[in-house]
Amino acid sequence: MTEQKILILDFGGQYNQLIARRVREHHVYCELRPYDTPLEEIRRFAPMGLIFTGGPNSVYLPDAPRVDPGIFALGLPILGICYGCQLLSQMLGGRVVPAQADSAREYGKTETFFDTDCALFKGLPGQSVTWMSHGDYMARIPAGFRLAAHSAACPTAAICDEERRFYGVQFHPEVNHTAYGSQMLRNFLYEICGAAGDWTMAGYREQAVAAIREKVGGGRALLALSGGVDSSVAAALMAEAIGEQLSCVFVDHGLLRKDEGDEVEAAFAGRAMHFHRIDAGPRFLARLSGVTEPEQKRKAIGEEFIRVFEEAGRQIGAADFLVQGTIYPDVIESGKGPAAVIKSHHNVGGLPEHVAFREILEPLRLLFKDEVRQLGRELGLPEALVSRQPFPGPGLAIRIIGEVTEEKLRILREADAIFRQEIAAAGLAGQCSQYFAALTNLRSVGVMGDGRSYDWAVALRSVQTGDFMTADWTRLPYELLDRASVRIVNEVRGVNRVLYDITSKPPATVEYE
């Protein structure tokens, strides 16, 4: 593993995993650990720099999370972001207070002015937009620091002590809304910490393979293979690490897209791995009968997955480990520490308490979707598989609002296939990060021929995103939407209305449930 490492101390902010992603984009290895990581553990990790993340707390409260004061004597460069900036100030003798007026609180895009003599802002314009999200501000900065940026409402938008290489920014450079945020982080890594940028996906692959071999030893592993990007890359990585000790089980839960079960089997059946297909559609459909609440759906599907895997494990032979394709967005949205649970993912929050495996392995847990695709290419997977459309583990069940039935699945499969065909025919498949049809629980009156209809409304959804943490709806051509709508209404029995979802994430999520 590279000797050049950044340690990110996590204070529970909503963008914290993005900081890690941005650092890795600059080819610098990093890890995210709790803010109360012991000083000795930090010394053993031997980072070349530290980043304090944002968080929901106020640093002046008695129970506010704090780092070990000894951190400031390690001689390491430190970048504090939002809460991390305020903590840096408060612990080193500054004073942070609540904003006394609404005008002093800043949320969203904010015009900000920079001192470009500060190393953090080297090469930046003197004025640009940053993304603010704070209700406290630094009323006094510590001795040895100077002001490095300001906005109309906040005179202390950034501070620096360049002798000790301590920097703090009140805004969030890790989000795309901060125009030059990536350059700021690069300046911290290269200009301040002295990074060489020698971390690559090839290096990550080598580290991951070694870690898997050490963890599994002589044991056997069972992997849930859906044929999607995440599980496929996890399968390739595990196969490289432990070979014949791995069995891949493809559970056809009856909630897949049109013809997808056969396509998955064709793609993996000839590979050098133990491949088992289990047709469990009726079993999952029975389990979902009468279930309408989204979280109950996810948990029911997650538990049924585990039961099927347990049974498969007994038939194949005892397995010590269950392998899952969990990635960072899954973990974030399922809630971690003080973070809110947005929705439970079947491979994170949807698991039952007791499973018949010694341990669950998540070899992709530290990667975002684009990094997973990079790793897949590094492992030699075909581009068609690596670039495959994201598809949730619970499948079409969370694209059907309300109870899941065989008839609703038929309608959704056909409508989704038509939409995807039209996207591909228009040459836009590579420009849309994720696109699909969903079946709403809305039925409405329509006119079909000369008669009255009372049928379902289908919603079409397409988003563009780099990390799936935030997403914007795709501005698809009206002509494409028109063709898709006409085809769906004419070709899919039971549909008389087609809607197009123009909601970004946030406030919505990409999926419907």
Q: Cite the active site residues.
A: 82, 172, 174
- Looking at beta carbons, which pairs linking 371-376 to residues 24 or more positions away fall under 8 Å? 371/21, 371/24, 371/201, 372/229, 372/230, 372/233, 372/327, 373/229, 373/233, 374/201, 375/201, 375/204, 375/205, 375/233, 375/237, 376/229, 376/232, 376/233, 376/236
DSSP 124-175: --SEEEEEEEESEEEEEPPTT-EEEEEESS-TTSEEEETTTTEEEESS-TTS
Joined together, the tokens standing for residue 335 give 């809630």
Q: What string of H, E and C letters represents the secondary structure of 32-49? A: EEECCCCHHHHHHHCCCE
Who's near 121: CB < 8 A, 6+ residues apart?
114, 115, 148, 149, 158, 184, 187
Who's near 486: CB < 8 A, 6+ residues apart?
none
**Integer Cα distance of 54 and 38 in angstroms:** 19
DSSP 435-454: EEEEEEEEEEEEEETTEEEE
CB 200 within 8 A of CB 357: no
Instruction: For residue 345, count other CB atoms closer than 10 A to its CB.
Output: 23
Joined together, the tokens standing for residue 286 give 């029975």
**Integer Cα distance of 499 and 459 in angstroms:** 5
**Integer Cα distance of 286 and 264 in angstroms:** 24
Residue 188 DSSP code: I
Who's near 236: CB < 8 A, 6+ residues apart?
376, 379, 380, 381
Classify 52 as helix, strand or coil.
strand
Q: What type of residue is 349?
A: G
Who's near 449: CB < 8 A, 6+ residues apart?
none
Report the candidate in 320, 349, 347, 357 with the shortest Cα–Cα distance to residue 231: 347
The most distant pair of C-alpha atoms in the chain lies apart, rounded to whole Å, by: 81
**Integer Cα distance of 227 and 214 in angstroms:** 26
